[in-house]
């Protein structure tokens, strides 16, 4: 392994340990998928592969949901990378990405670099497709939110809060927020699958 690969391997091990107790759908399984998707996008768009890999691996390491409502991913990224042979500009770049990535911050976040845009696209893509459907259902199961309420149209933005409603309120709006062409292509495919799923779901309900 070259020095960069060794660092990536170390960061992978540290993050997987730290996130070991977090639920499926928003734990290390999510991080692995974001890492892989970000690498796939980078292969087509270019950008600094090392920075992209580090930011993808570290982007949820201090997720607010698991740290008393305080987002600590950038702080933890600095600590983790500071203990490894990583130069300061790289640490600053990764921390900036991690700090400005999340959907919740998108109104106030600072402009992301190309590397940040790629990781943000990969993170958003993980809310779409078959995985996105499962994550929505898992989220609903955790907070006691039904996937659908009979008699309501999930595309009605003023309807009750449901998983199917979340597709329309948030998930089908993600594609137009993406930065890169490869991500838009993947999103189109994944959205089509979600719409097929919803059509089938509604047809099975009809009585």
Give the binding site for Ni ion (CB under 5 A).
60, 123
What tokens does 102 get? 């999340």
CA dihedral 84, 27, 172, 47 (to 10 degrees): 20
Which of 163, 164, 178, 186 touches ligand ADP (CB under 6 A)? 163
Residue 11 CA to its chain's centroid (Å): 18
Minimum distance from CB of 92 to Ni ion (Å)? 21
In the complex with ligand ADP, the residue whose CB is nearer, 10 or 169, is 169
- Report the sign of the C-alpha dihedral through residues 91, 58, 54, 182, in that order: negative
Which of ligand ADP, Ni ion, none interacts with 96 (beta carbon under 5 to 8 A by kind)? none
Minimum distance from CB of 135 to ligand ADP (Å)? 3
Which of Ni ion, ligand ADP, none interacts with 113 (beta carbon under 5 to 8 A by kind)? none
Neighbour-count burial of 120, counting CB atoms closer than 10 A to its CB (0-12 exposed, 13-18 middle, 19+ buried): buried
Question: Residue 166 interacts with ligand ADP (CB under 6 A)?
Answer: yes
Integer CA distances (angstroms), 112 to 120, 156, 179, 202, in order: 9, 33, 10, 39
Q: Restricting to residues 126-145, name those near ligand ADP by CB under 6 A.
A: 127, 132, 135-136, 139-140, 145
Provide the binding-site residues for ligand ADP, judged by CB under 6 A: 26, 102-103, 123, 127, 132, 135-136, 139-140, 145, 163, 166, 171
């Amino acid at each position: 392994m070259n020095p960069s690969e060794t660092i990536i391997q170390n960061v992978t091990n540290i993050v997987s340990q730290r996130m070991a107790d977090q639920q499926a759908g928003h734990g290390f399984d999510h991080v692995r998928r974001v890492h892989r998707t970000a690498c796939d996008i980078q292969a087509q768009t270019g950008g600094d592969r090392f920075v992209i890999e580090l930011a993808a691996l570290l982007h949820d390491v201090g997720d607010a949901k698991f740290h008393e409502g305080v987002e600590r991913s950038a702080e933890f990224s600095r600590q983790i990378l500071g203990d490894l042979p990583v130069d300061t500009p790289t640490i600053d770049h990764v921390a900036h990405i991690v700090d400005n990535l999340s959907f919740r911050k998108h109104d106030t976040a600072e402009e992301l670099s190309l590397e940040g845009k790629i990781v943000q696209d990969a993170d958003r893509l993980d809310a779409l497709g078959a995985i996105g459907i499962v994550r929505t259902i898992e989220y609903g199961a955790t907070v006691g939110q039904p996937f659908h309420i009979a008699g309501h149209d999930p595309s009605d933005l003023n309807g009750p809060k449901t998983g199917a409603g979340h597709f329309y309120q948030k998930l089908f709006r993600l594609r137009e927020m993406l930065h890169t062409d490869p991500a838009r292509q993947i999103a189109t495919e994944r959205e089509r699958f979600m719409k097929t799923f919803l059509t089938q779901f509604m047809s099975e309900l009809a009585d």
